[in-house]
Chains A and B, each alone.
Chain A
Amino acid sequence: NAGVMQNPRHLVRRRGQEARLRCSPMKGHSHVYWYRQLPEEGLKFMVYLQKENIIDESGMPKERFSAEFPKEGPSILRIQQVVRGDSAAYFCASSLGQNEKLFFGSGTQLSVL
C-alpha cells in the first residue's frame, strides 16, 4: 500500500509562471490537507479538502492560490503568477476521516527564480 505520493519532488519556476503541485493520497483516504513550510518556519496549514469539496481554506492566501480534489485523480495545489516569496516546501497529508491519523507525503520543494 503506497504512501502519500507527491510530485514533483522539486519544481523550479520563474516569476510569473504557474506552479501545479500534485498529491495522491493513500488508498482509501478521502481527506487531504496541504501545508506550507517556509524556510526556518514550521508547517503552516493551508487547506483541507474532501473529495470534490473544500472544507477549510482558512490558511490559503486570498489570491493566486487554489486547490482542488476531484472525484478522480490527485489533489492539485495551483499557484498562479508565482513570486519569490512562494518558494517553500509544500506538504500534503491524507487521512481516512476527520480527526484520523494524518499520513504525510515527502513534499514538493518549489523554487521561484
Chain B
Amino acid sequence: GNSVTQMEGPVTLSEEAFLTINCTYTATGYPSLFWYVQYPGEGLQLLLKATKADDKGSNKGFEATYRKETTSFHLEKGSVQVSDSAVYFCALLYGNKLVFGAGTILRVKS
C-alpha cells in the first residue's frame, strides 16, 4: 500500500544549525509529495510540495527534492531559527487522500 516513513523525533538543534528530516515513501505510481508544518496550538499548514521526480519544493528557507530513485523527499534548511520549532509532517497524495507520516518534532534552542 501507500505509506510514508519519517525519522523519529524529537530533533533538537541550536539556532543556525543545519536541519535534515528524512522522509521516504512507498506508493504505486508517482504521487505528489508534501511537507506540512504544525506550530503549537495551530492546524497543519502546507510548507512545500513537489509533483514529479526531480522537482524541488521550497518555502521559507526549507527545501525538499523529489527523488524517485530513492523514493525520498527529505526536508532541509540551512540555518534554523527558534521560530521553526514545530511538528513537521511528510505526506503523499493518493487519489483524493493525503497519506501522512507520523510527524517529527523539531525543537530549536537559542
Contact = CB atoms under 8 A, between A and B. Distances in A.
A35 B99 CA distance: 10
B17 interface: no
Nearest to A58: B97
A42 B45 contact: no
Interface residues of A, number: 27
B42 to A, nearest CB: 6
Interface string A36-65: 000011111100100000011011000000
A103 B98 CA distance: 12
Contact of A45 (B4, B6, B42, B98): B98
B4 A56 contact: no
A40 B36 CA distance: 17
A45 B43 contact: no
A35 B36 CA distance: 14
Contacts of B99: 45
Contact of B98 (A40, A58, A102, A107): A102
A99 B45 CA distance: 16
Instruction: Determine the interface band of chain B, counting residues with CB < 8 A from chain A.
Output: 20 to 34
Interface in B24-56: 36, 41-46
B43 A99 contact: no
Nearest to B95: A56
B97 A56 contact: yes
Interface centre among A40, A43, A93, A101, by most B CB within 10 Å? A43
Contacts of B102: 40-42
Closest A-B pairs by Cβ, 3 of them: A104-B43, A42-B100, A104-B44
